[in-house]
Amino acid sequence: MTTPAYKRVLLKLSGEALMGDDPYGINRATIERMVADVSEVAKLGVELAIVIGGGNIFRGVAPGAQGMDRATADYMGMLATVMNSLALADAMRQVGITARVMSAIAIEQVVEPYVRPKALQYLEEGKIVIFAAGTGNPFFTTDTAAALRGSEIGAEIVLKATKVDGVYSADPNKDPDATRYATITFDEAISKHLQVMDATAFALCRDQKLPIKVFSIVKPGALKRVVLGEDEGTLVHV
Ligand SMILES: Nc1ncnc2c1ncn2[C@@H]1O[C@H](COP(=O)(O)OP(=O)(O)O)[C@@H](O)[C@H]1O
Ligand SMILES: O=c1ccn([C@@H]2O[C@H](COP(=O)(O)OP(=O)(O)O)[C@@H](O)[C@H]2O)c(=O)[nH]1
């Protein structure tokens, strides 16, 4: 089966996963592998928009940010996502994929600003759009940015590629007895305080009836399996 289950998706890539086994920063082999996964899916004809996090860079500067004003630290985090977006777009360029980076905060000499109709146009042209700088607001996360942009562009689903292979009854990195859900409702995920995504992102997707698939960013072929509608990860639904 090679028919994709979706026409347009919003892919959220973990920033933290970009560092691979390094203590922080962008691991070359890791970003190349992510691009290879994305490329496979793009070849299926799926329109792809991407939101990438910033945890890999921000973790590196975090010791110096201790005691910092929260909003200022968050702006630094947003700038980290801009760096990751540029690195991702360039890694795509190197393998012949056309990507456009659009930023939620104005830094016009570096990347073009986010303009919704322009983003829609790029997607229709088959280009990959990378949304940088999260929502552009402090006190939010890139997961919420994924929910927001996913809603704006009319994506059929938000695909959260992260370090775990789905939503568990508790944080699997802390609780060895945690069990994975095949599917879970937004209300359940919110009421059980499952931390795999923040409540703002869950609530926005719930209100917009935009399902989320949580799956592993490290498992080979997982993204393609998800896009083909195969049994992979956890579906969060209304
Ligand atoms: N109930 C849960 N199910 C799955 N993962 C969970 C859960 N609770 C907490 N987590 C943690 O959430 C992490 C993923 O969320 P997050 O830190 O936002 O990652 P990302 O870098 O993808 O944005 C996982 O690595 C896992 O340790
Ligand atoms: O709309 C947003 C998106 C991100 N951030 C900041 O950017 C950081 C990096 O994003 P995130 O932690 O979501 O990335 P990931 O977990 O994927 O590495 C966050 O911690 C926030 O400090 C923010 O302030 N507003």
3-state secondary structure of 145: helix
15 assigned to a ligand binding site: yes
DSSP state of 142: H
Q: What is the ipTM score, two decimals? A: 0.95
Q: Cβ < 6 Å from ligand 1: which residues? A: 14-16, 53, 55, 143, 162-164, 167-168, 170-173, 194-196
Which residues make Cβ contacts (< 8 Å) with residue 95, sequence separation at least 6? Answer: 35, 36, 39
Q: How far is CA 171 from the centre of its chain?
A: 19
Taking 80 as the threshold, does the pLDDT of residue 1 lie above it? no
Q: Secondary structure of 7-26 in the HEC alphabet?
A: CEEEEEECCHHHHCCCCCCC
Query: pLDDT category, 62, cuts 50, 70, 90?
Result: confident
Taking 90 as the threshold, does the pLDDT of residue 66 lie above it? no
Expressed in angstroms and rounded, the spacing between residue 28 Cα and the centre of ligand 1 is 23
Instruction: Choose which residue among 34, 58, 105, 141 to substitute to test ligand 2 binding: the one with the highest number of ligand atoms within 8 A of its C-beta.
Output: 141
Helix axes 28-42, 70-94, angle to 10 degrees: 70
> Atom 12, ligand 1: which residue's CA is nearest?
196
**pLDDT tens track for 97-154:** 999 999 999 999 999 999 999 999 999 999 999 999 999 999 999 999 999 999 999 9
Q: What is the pLDDT of residue 236?
A: 98
In percent, the amount of the chain with pLDDT more than 70 equals 100
137 assigned to a ligand binding site: yes
**What average pLDDT does this structure show over 81-106?**
98
Q: What is the spatial distance between Cα 142 and Cα 14, in angstroms, rounded to a whole number?
A: 9
The reported pTM is 0.97
Instruction: Choose which residue among 74, 82, 148, 158 to substitute to test ligand 2 binding: the one with the highest number of ligand atoms within 8 A of its C-beta.
Output: 74
Average pLDDT along the chain: 96
Expressed in angstroms and rounded, the spacing between residue 42 Cα and the centre of ligand 2 is 26
**pLDDT tens track for 180-238:** 999 999 999 999 999 999 999 999 999 999 999 999 999 999 999 999 999 999 999 99
Expressed in angstroms and rounded, the spacing between residue 174 Cα and the centre of ligand 1 is 11
**pLDDT tens track for 12-50:** 999 999 999 999 999 999 999 999 999 999 999 999 999
Ligand number nearest to the C-alpha of 142: 2
